[in-house]
Amino acid sequence: MAKKKFSKNWVTQHIQDPYVKLAQQKGYRARAAFKLLEILDTENLMKPGEVVVDLGATPGSWSQVARERLKRADGSINGQIIALDVLDMEPIAGVEFLLGDFRDDDVLASLEHALQGKDVDLVMSDMAPNLTGVASADSARMAHLAELAQEFAVRHLKPEGALIMKAFHGSGFSQIVQDLKTQFVKVVERKPKASRDKSSETFLVARGLK
């Protein structure tokens, strides 16, 4: 009974959420688009001509934002956007989508092939694990995804490139921040307005490889 009540409350809050309504109005697939937009504007990131990799892309709102930022007047992309997720994604014009688990070597190889040797300007990771409710297990899964995103960014970013990565406050968060600081010149925490207050999610922006 409690679970049903919780679900009903979530649905009510979701429907009344101004960012959900705004996403529908603007044609974004998820309210998460506004989290990315605020981070990009605050940090002055993503310019035409850049190579962008979107990890954990589905349903695709971050890739939609990237397409808007890199789109020419004729609709073509000035740059490159590669999106990846374990869940399939409805196509977005100009976005290369790879279906697969980022933890698999063959999927990483496909991603590297799509880059064709180009270094990346911006790696974006909105990846989050399926949560079990067991705090220690969930923290370990989150830390693992963060580690993978960081490893990929360090290996593929241009020296002046940037990583935007979702993380969660709690066990392991400070270690994730510390790890980023060992490899990036500047690391900041961002909690966009579109991120719900009760959510423990925080976005880490790391810039400039050491």
User: For the segment 160-197, what is each residue's pLDDT rounded down to a tens digit?
Assistant: 999 999 998 877 899 999 999 999 999 999 999 988 87
DSSP 107-132: HHHHHHHHHTTPPEEEEEE---PPP-
* Residues found in the chain: 210
Helix axes 18-26, 2-16, angle to 10 degrees: 50
Q: Which domains does the chain have, with CATH numbers?
A: 30-209 (3.40.50.150)
Cα atoms in the Cβ-side hemisphere of radius 13 Å centred on 170: 15
Six token digits for residue 150 = 């960081």
What is the identity of the amino acid at 71?
K
168, 200 Cβ separation under 8 angstroms: yes
DSSP 153-190: HHHHEEEEEEEEEEEESSTTHHHHHHHHHHHEEEEEEE
Strand 184-190 with 201-209, pairing: antiparallel
User: For the segment 53-105, what is each residue's pLDDT rounded down to a tens digit?
Assistant: 999 999 999 999 999 999 999 999 999 999 999 999 999 999 999 999 877 88
Q: How far apart are CA 206 and CA 189, in angstroms?
A: 9
Q: What is the pLDDT of residue 94?
A: 95
CA angle 209, 142, 197 (to 5 degrees): 95
Residue 3: is its pLDDT beyond 50? no
Could you tell me which residues are beta bridge partners of residue 189? Answer: 204
Chain-wide mean pLDDT for the chain? Answer: 89
Q: What is the pLDDT of residue 9?
A: 57
Residue 198: is its pLDDT beyond 90? no
Annotated catalytic sites, by residue?
A: 166
Q: In what order do the strands lie in the sheet with 120-125?
A: 95-99, 80-85, 51-55, 120-125, 157-168, 201-209, 184-190
